[in-house]
Amino acid sequence: MNTISNLLTTPMQGTRVDVFEQIFLVFLGLGALVGVIVIAYTLYNAYKYRDTGEADDDEDLPSVGELPTGGKGGKKLFLSFGISAVIVISLVIWTYAMLLYVEDPADGTDEQAEALNVEVTGESFAWFFEYENGIESTGTLRVPADERIWIQVTSGDVWHAFGISEQRVKADAIPGEYDETWFEAEEPGQYEIECFELCGEYHTSMVGTLEVMEPEKYDQWMDDQLTMSFTMEDQNESPVTDGYVLTLEHQESDFEESYTADQFDNGSIEITDIEQGGQYNVSIEPTDGQFEPIEEQIDMTGPVSETYTLELDATESETNANETNGGGEN
Ligand SMILES: [Cu+2]
């Protein structure tokens, strides 16, 4: 009883694994206790009222056909029913509170908005993950350890069910709907993701991996995903080191940066200060009119590596040639 009152008064916390383990242990402990008491009391009475072969002159001895009145004017009966009722009602309330916590541990706070949110899509027969920053991954969900992760689960075709048994996670994946749940993995490592809804021929192979990483390693991985590499080449595939400026503009945020040719290393640049995936406009402008400008759109869902061929502008180079010639003549 003491354990239950403690559990009732302490604020809810912990992972799903903790919660379900606590519920299991409390039910196991109380069930075992009640079992021991009932069996011990039965054995005690069986021994006490055993047939000794001698007639007993105990007045309390019930006779055949007599209804039991309950010992001591019904006190025993009242007490046992009373205690049982208290135990059962406490268990119901406590379990219900625990399950409410599992349903919504954020409890109206904006904790969820600040947490790591990942959209999970099941589509025959694989799992696809999209982070809030637009980075995508197929088959493997990478998350930092010791952090609450919220997932919004949906399906691209038929009904599936997303589940990670070791993290006590399960959510329906239904087209057009989002089923939201959360988990918090304490131990770095790999855990199996399975589909728990018979969805077709390759249902059993619809598996994935939850990779729980040390937070620093996760940050490093995410930084690597948010990296763009650009290389400028001429028609002969030799690096171009001069005469252009590259502008990178994010369509959904105010990120806009320009990189001049001298910021490139032998015609290549690696841009690592990007914080958002998604749609980017890339434009490469010649600084002295030597090349054709390039306009491109990039949908960043992971590390980007692009090579652009800078074509000599035919008209410009002719003009340049004429100008140079003209200059020479003068
Ligand atoms: Cu499935």
* Structural domain total, the chain: 3
Q: Is residue 51 part of a domain?
A: no
Query: Could you tell me the CATH number of the domain that includes residue 161?
Result: 2.60.40.420
Dist. CA 198 → ligand 1 center (Å): 6
What separation in Å is there between the alpha carbon of 16 and the centre of ligand 1?
A: 23
Residue 172 sits in the same domain as residue 198: yes
Q: Consecutive 10-residue runs of the chain (330 residues): their mean pLDDT?
A: 53 81 92 94 90 68 70 77 91 91 79 90 95 95 95 96 96 96 94 96 96 97 95 90 92 92 92 92 89 92 93 58 39
For residue 296, list its beta bridge partners.
282
121, 99: one domain:
no
β-pair partners for 306:
230
Residue where the block lists tokens 């763009």: 228
Tell me, in angstroms, the distance from the centre of ligand 1 to residue 196's CA.
Answer: 7
Residues in the 5 Å CB sphere of ion ligand 1: 160, 195, 199, 206
How far is ligand 1, taken at its centre, from the CA of residue 204, in Å?
Answer: 8
- Give how far Cα 78 sits from Cα of 66, 70, 74, 326, Å: 20, 9, 6, 116
CA of 207 to the centre of ligand 1 (A): 9
How many CA atoms does the CB half-sphere of 231 hold within 13 Å?
11
Reduce the DSSP state of residue 71 to 3 states and report it: helix
Last residue of a domain, one of 158, 190, 213: 213
In this structure, the answer to whether residues 163 and 129 fall within a common structural domain is yes
Ligand 1 midpoint to CA 159 (Å) = 7
Statement to judge: residues 206 and 233 lie in one domain: no
Do 96 and 132 belong together in one domain? no
What is the pTM assigned to this prediction?
A: 0.79
- 173 and 83 in a single domain? The answer is no
User: Domain range for residue 277?
Assistant: 226-316
Residue 26 in domain: yes
Of the candidates 116, 86, 83, the one whose C-alpha atom is nearest the C-alpha of residue 215 is 116
Give dist(CA 162, CA 175) in Å, integer. 13
